[in-house]
Structures are given as structure tokens and as C-alpha cells.
Amino acid sequence: MREREMPDGEAPRGRVLVIGLDGATFDLLLPWMEEGRLPHLAAIWRRSSYGYLRSTIPPMTACAWPSFQTGKNPGKHGLFDFMQYEPGSYETTFINARSLREEPLWETLGQYGKQVVVINVPITYPPRPVNGFLISGMMTPGVNVEFTYPANLGQELLDEIGDYQILLPAGAVVYMGPRNFVDKMRHVTRKRAETADFLMRRIDWDFFMVHFQSPDALQHALWSHLDPHHPAYPATKEEDREYVQDYYRELDSLVGGVVRGAGENVTVILMSDHGFGPVRERFHVNRWLAARGLLTVASSLPQRVLDSLDGVLQWDVALKLRRRLVSPRGKQDARLRRLTQQALIDWANTRAFALQGSVAIRLLINRRGREPLGIVEPGAEYEKLRDDIAEQLLQIRAPKTG
């Protein structure tokens, strides 16, 4: 590994710095830059080329950052959600770096002798060997596991930085309250920037990437305080809105510090993985399938269960995700674990079903030989049903907007 020997402020040609702002959107940033609230981002913006990128389908962290890592769409790298279907069951499990079918760009760079630093990028746990340093990001159970490459970097980081946290999830706002949540988010973001500064001075890097998850989590938790068009915006207090928006001023300053620390003659890429906006409507896939006779609720359960089926499954996923990110060694509630799709659905009379992911929906055909209680024959029957469902889905229109 090449130790950094160059004086501060100097850098060889060919270096690249990537700063990921998860969930960042021009809908917020452009007005604030024009108002002078974000001077460092505005300075980068004024001297750069910029544009609106189309995100992945679905537009979410779990598949968008892997697409950035690999240059491939989700159909090729294999990740569509934070949860993945387990063939031979009706269950889902968490994705991780082993789920990725394609090679990340920093591994390719390493093969050509380039030294890399990768900090907190989602779906990089468990950490894979790189020619440099890697600190894993979202979907890492915590800092009590091997979350860095090389492995000894983890303890060195904790000794140097102190209270390093992989992620503060949006759900924490429920028990922390908005202001404490924002304060903690500031702390997490400062530590991320300190980590970038620490590693930037360690080696003579060619590619450096630091990812800030906090904008995404903050917006999931407090979008009503940020978007003037949000239905709940008028009910929020002005002082609370300013308190939330002040987080972005600090983020702006920290981003400016990272860019300065990289030195001269560095290509800077500032990017997001998806935009943001309020959720106005939901599509209940299993209810839609049941209305077409493709899914049947177990006869021992009241029909009203169907109305809450998607919600029950989503709640189960939310609990799993929260335990993974907040309390990784917590035991799953035994009663909730028994309330699986296998108990809710009459599989002998179900031809298609949807597994609830954390955001995206995975619609599956109950195929004989693949699913434990599959009834649809592989081949012509399967393909016809698949095509029929796809065609019907394409005809759906939002009731209010068309």
C-alpha cells in the first residue's frame, strides 16, 4: 500500500473523489443554494456540469447504489430491495455484499493497481478485499462485527474517531423526537466527515468515496418539515422547520471540508441515488390479486385479514429491518414470526402472490417445483399467467390522477 507522502493540497492527476448524498434532491438543494444557505455546494455547482439522473427501477438505495458500484441495472446485478426471496420457501432475507452478482468498480480499479478508499457505501457488508481501505455501510449489523477491510482498520477507526455509527435509521425519530433526532444526525455526519479526513491522509489514493446516508434518513423521518408542498407542512412550526433545515448547512460545510482535503487536480463527483417526495398513495398488490381470483386467504381467517395482509407483511419487514439496523442481536417476536404468509394464505388455491419488501414488491407465481406448495405448472401455463398478470398491471391507473 502506498503511504501518502505528498504535501497537503497537492495531488496527482487522475484522482477521483465521489461524495454520495443519499436521497439528495435538487428540489431542496437548488432553492437553498440560490438563497445562499449552502455556499460550499453552491460553489461546486457553479463550476461544474450537473444534471438530473434517472434512478433505477425501483428508485431506492438497495438497488441504485449497487448499480453505481457495478455499472449494471438491477436485472443484472440482482438486487431490487433490501430483502431478497429465498427460493424453496415463502420467506425473505436481507441482502448483503454477497448478494451482488457483479464486481464493484473499486475492485476493478484495484486490479489495475489503483488505491481506493470506500466509506459507508450501502451494500458493502461483509467487506470484501480491496487495494486500500473499505468501511462498510448500510446493512452492516453494527461496529461489533468485522465491518472494515482490512479487519484491523475497524478498531483503529474506533480508537481514532470514537463514537462511529454506521447509520441512524429514520425510525429513530419516533422515540427520540425531531430535535434530538436531528442532533444525533449531526453527530453521525460529523463522524463520517472525520473518518474521511482520517483516511484521506493515510494513503496516496487514486479513488476516494464517502457516502452520507443521513440526508435520506432525515427526509424519510421529517419530509413534512422540508417540503412546502407536503400536506402536513402547514402544521409544522417554523422554528422546527428551521432546526431541521440547519442540518443541511452543517452537511454543506462538512462536504466543503472533504473537497478541500482532497487537494487540487481532483475530479469531484457529487451524486445521489434517487430523489425524494411524499407518499400519497399505496397499491395493495395482494388485495388486487385476490380480487382477480389469483390469491385466496386461508378459510380459517376472517376476510378482513385480506385488507391488512400487505400491511402485516410490511410491518414484519419493518421490524426485521429495525432490529438489523438498531438492535442487531435482538430476538424476533415469536408470535409475529408465526404470522407468516404460509399461515395467512391458502396456497392450494393461490396462483400468484406478492412478497412485501422494505419498499419494492416482489410479485411471484406459485410455481410447482419451486415454491413449497406451488400449483402452477412450469412452461406454458406459467408463461401465460406471467404475461397475463404483466399486461393487467400495465393497465392500472391511479384513481385520482389517471
pLDDT tens, position by position, 173-193: 999 999 999 999 999 999 999
Query: Per residue in 271-311, pLDDT tens?
Result: 999 999 988 888 888 889 999 999 998 876 555 555 555 55
| CA nearest to 50, candidates 72, 75, 33, 67 | 33
Q: What is the number of other CB atoms lying within 10 angstroms of the CB of residue 211?
A: 26
Which of 178-187, 354-363, 366-375 bottoms out in mean pLDDT, i.e. has the lowest? 354-363
Residue 98: what pLDDT? 96
Query: Per residue in 6-32, pLDDT tens?
Result: 555 554 558 999 999 999 999 999 999
Domain of residue 316: give its range.
Answer: 285-394
Domain tally, the chain: 2
Average pLDDT over residues 212-217: 97
Instruction: Mark whether 266 and 386 lie in a shared domain.
Output: no
Answer whether 132's CB lies under 8 Å from 109's CB.
no
In a domain, 9, yes or no: no
Answer whether 157's CB lies under 8 Å from 164's CB.
yes
Instruction: Mark whether 174 and 304 lie in a shared domain.
Output: no
User: What is the value of pTM for the model shown?
Assistant: 0.87
Task: Provide the pLDDT confidence category of residue 207 given band limits of 50, 70 and 90.
Answer: very high
DSSP assignments along 29-48, one per residue: HHHHHHTTS-HHHHHHHHTS
Q: What is the three-class DSSP state of 362? A: strand
Answer whether 140's CB lies under 8 Å from 226's CB.
no
The CATH number of whichever domain residue 177 belongs to comes to 3.40.720.10
Residue 268: what pLDDT? 97
- Quick check: 219 pLDDT over 80? yes
Instruction: Mark whether 257 and 302 lie in a shared domain.
Output: no
DSSP-assigned letter for residue 349 = G
Residue 281: what pLDDT? 82
Half-sphere exposure at residue 287, Cβ-oriented, CA atoms within 13 angstroms: 14
Percentage of the chain lying above the pLDDT 70 cut:
85
Instruction: Mark whether 180 and 326 lie in a shared domain.
Output: no
Q: Alpha-carbon distance 385 to 364, whole Å?
A: 11
Average pLDDT over residues 38-64: 95
Instruction: Mark whether 381 and 294 lie in a shared domain.
Output: yes
Half-sphere exposure at residue 171, Cβ-oriented, CA atoms within 13 angstroms: 12
